[in-house]
Every structure is written in structure tokens, then in C-alpha cells.
Amino acid sequence: MFESFKNFFGVDSIKMVFNLLPAYPTNVVSINGEIEIRSSTPKIISQINLKLVEIYTRGAGQEKKVDEYDLGFLQINDKIEIAAAQPKQIFFKLPFELQKSNMDKVADANFVLKGLVNFAKSFKGVKSEYEIIAEAIVEGSNLRPFAKKQLIFDSNIKL
């Protein structure tokens, strides 16, 4: 009875952790990595949904605006059996496309204006942060375990 109570509330459930590079070049077209999955009791995962999200912030104080954009999505539909206390690694390749604002396109096209565009973005408080999110569907459980990790994209990194 206690086991069904724990399963219903997701206690002692599955833990997921991303194993990824610390930073990626801006011209990469997919995130290759792995998710390490652990559980203290045997579980079966029927699906894992992965997505890459851009959190675009601009302004400050009362004028601050935040938008989220989905840049890529991957659904893993394989049944994954997790044995008790035996971590399992699931490799993935998440395709995505970084979005560029009109200001970014101008900066990329004109070296002279790049500094001016960067100054204007800094002045307006414009920044983008990126997160990769995984959510699992576990058979026999009402809760969906998830993992999040912030990613860095750097134009100075070359492939």
C-alpha cells in the first residue's frame, strides 16, 4: 500500500540529469548529449520529450518583457526499463535552429554596425538564455519527472 502511495505522489521517483558540453558554437544544428536516469525502484519509461527553449528578455523594472521560444523538439518513444539503483544513459540528438532578431542580422552583415548593435542591446537590457528540458512519462505514475539545464551558445567557439 505504501508503494502505491509513493508512486501516486511521485515520491522516490525517477531522477534525470543531463550530461552535456558546457558551451556550444552558435553554428551548431543539434545538441548531442545524454540523460542519466536513476531510480531506487524498478520503473518503465514509455516516453521522453526533449526541447530547447530560448528565454528572450528585454527592458528593466516595470517595462521588462520576457518571451519564450521553442527552438527544437525531440520525442523518444522507446520503452526504457530502469532497474533499481542502476543508472541508465540515454543518448540523444536534438535538432534545432537558433533564431536571429533583425538587430542580430544587421550585426552579422555589417562589421561596422556590430558594435553599435551590441551597445543598443546592452542599453535596452536585451539578452537570451537557453534551456534544455526533458520530461519523462513513467508507467504507473501520475507525475512526470523532468530535468532542466541551462546552455551557453558562444560565437567564439568554432567546430
Domain boundaries, the chain: 2-99+129-153
Which pLDDT does position 11 carry in this prediction?
A: 56
Quick: pLDDT tens for 21-61: 989 998 899 999 999 999 988 999 999 999 999 998 888 77
Overall fold of domain 2-99+129-153: Immunoglobulin-like (2.60.40)
Query: What pTM was computed for the model?
Result: 0.81
Q: Which residues contact 103 (CB under 8 A, 6 or more apart)?
A: 117, 120, 121, 126
Chain CA centroid to CA 66, Å: 17
**Rounded CA separation 103/120 (Å):** 9
**Rounded CA separation 75/48 (Å):** 6
Strand partners, 48: 76, 136
